[in-house]
Amino acid sequence: MFDDPAFALAANRLAGTLIALGRADEAEKVLTDFLVVRPDYALGHSNLGSILHRKGRLPDAIGHYREALRLDQTLVTARGGLANAERGLPPP
């Protein structure tokens, strides 16, 4: 089940919906739990980095942005988020 790309997409969309509803803590939990079983999911790391970045947890955000880029160097959102987090700026 966890290897199914649709499951990864669903977890990511659920987290995005929760963010839109102002429920960042729940979105963080969804992605954190998902990444335990799928630590190779670059977009999940990037999105978790963004959540943590918005919460001001820059060291944690930087770690997830870096992991996202290690897994997929083409993730523009992770690259922009990492650059801003390293400079102490808000997420793009």
CATH fit for domain 5-87, picks 1.25.40.10, 2.40.180.10, 3.40.50.620, 3.30.565.10: 1.25.40.10
Residues found in the chain = 92
**Residue 47: closest CA among 70, 21, 78:** 78
The domain ranges of the chain are 5-87
pLDDT, tens digit (0-9, with 9 covering 90-100), for 28-72: 999 999 999 899 999 999 999 999 999 999 999 999 999 999 999
Q: Which amino acid is at 39?
A: P
pTM for the model stands at 0.91
The pLDDT mean for the chain works out to: 93
Quick one: pLDDT at residue 92? 86
pLDDT, tens digit (0-9, with 9 covering 90-100), for 19-40: 999 999 999 999 999 999 899 9
Burial class (CB in 10 A: 0-12, 13-18, 19+), 73: exposed
- Please determine, for residue 1, whether its predicted confidence score (pLDDT) is greater than 60: no
- Please determine, for residue 5, whether its predicted confidence score (pLDDT) is greater than 90: no
CA distance 77 to 92: 8
Q: Are 49 and 64 in contact (CB under 8 A)?
A: yes
